[in-house]
Amino acid sequence: MICLFKIYLLYFIMDSFFLVMSSLPPTCKDDISPGLYSCTNTTKCGVRVHQSANTFIIDGKHAQLESWPWLVSVKFIGVDMCGGTIVDKNWIVTAAHCFDSIYMRDPRNWTIAIGKYHKYCTDTTERQLQVEKILMHPDYVKRTNENDIALLKLSQAIDYNCRVRPICLPMGPQHLLIGEKCWIAGWGMTLGHGNDDIVNEVMVPIINPILCKSSDFYGRRFHPDVMVCAGYRNGGKDACNGDSGGPLICQRNGVWTLSGITSWGLGCGQPQQPGVYTMVGHYATWLHKTMKAHNDIIIG
């Protein structure tokens, strides 16, 4: 996943600066705005209107309109580059590797698409918000993908509704159970296993970190103190290019929590090479302190 992402990123840097930035995707034919303000408690984190009907991401299913209201697209000069997650009205959590190149670190070039469902057209519910600050974890290591987490501060507050609302952040280290069923979602490549024009979702179980650190899997590349492995031993269901920075979402006591951030992997959906996710609970203190320091709002 990460190897392919970096090739894609290099190609993008070389070619995409020549895009005409004033041109926007066409408006989607389907008006998905009805019911946008029909729900209550939109400020409560980790709650959604619709539950998923099925268990492309690779070999996943189309998500329902309001399945993942905290999912956003992180755009570089107007082009979808990564996924991200709403955690507060002014804050998005994503992966630090989305900003690997020094040329990618000017916040003026980045926007966030909220209320988005389709990739190749502009939804009636979609809004573009400007990024004000890019705050990568100070200990991010590009070579090993350790501490692959970043915060994006927005220049204006998000207006919550039924399809745009925050996920809950762990308040501290989170113990994920082996086999626990979590979800990933995004607009990344499907490699012929579906349509990437609509946000896709797939359930991925947590894999034993001992297995992921074994020589049959990732060996020393995997750091179980800051990373989470999720997916299937035989492959087939996985995140892929374009899903980087998006959420690994786990449900606790009926509330959805940001447990991981799509970080890296070798290929997409390959046997014994499951997706690797940044362990968000490990960074709970850094996340809360950083957000408070930059806007004096206590995130709870």
Q: Report, as residue numbers or ranges, the catalytic residues.
A: 97, 148, 244
Residue pair 245/98 in contact (Cβ under 8 Å)? The answer is: yes
What is the maximum alpha-carbon separation in the chain?
51
Strand pairing report for 181-186 and 200-205: antiparallel
* C-alpha span between 231 and 175 (Å, rounded): 17
CA distance linking residue 249 with residue 257, whole number of Å: 6
d(CA 94, CA 74): 8
Number of Cβ within a 10 Å radius of residue 240:
26
Cα 66 from Cα 165, distance rounded (Å): 10
Structure tokens given for 149? 């987490």
Contacts of 122 (CB under 8 A, 6+ apart): 24, 25, 26, 27, 28
